[in-house]
Amino acid sequence: MYKIKPIKMAINNNSPWQMPFIGSLVPAGFPSPAQDYIEAVLDLNELLIQHPAATYFVRVEGYSMVDSGINPNDILIVDRSLEASDGKVIIAVLDGEFTVKRLHIDKNGNYFLVPENADYKPIKVTDEMGFSIWGVVTNVIHKL
The CATH number of residue 106's host domain is: 2.10.109.10
Is 71 among the domain residues?
yes
Strands (E), the chain: 55-59, 75-79, 89-94, 97-105, 111-114, 123-124, 131-141
Q: What is the pLDDT of residue 46?
A: 77
CB 63 within 8 A of CB 99: no
Query: Annotated catalytic, 101?
Result: yes
pTM: 0.72
Is 66 among the domain residues?
yes
Q: What is the pLDDT of residue 144?
A: 87
Is 23 among the domain residues?
no
Give the three-class secondary structure for 37: helix
What domain range is 110 assigned to? 44-141
Is 58 among the domain residues?
yes
Which of these is catalytic: 8, 101, 121, 124?
101
Beta partners for residue 75, in sequence order: 59, 141
Given a cut of 50, the residues of the chain with pLDDT beneath it are: 1-20, 22
Is 76 among the domain residues?
yes
> For the chain, what is the domain count?
1
Which of these is catalytic: 32, 64, 81, 121?
64
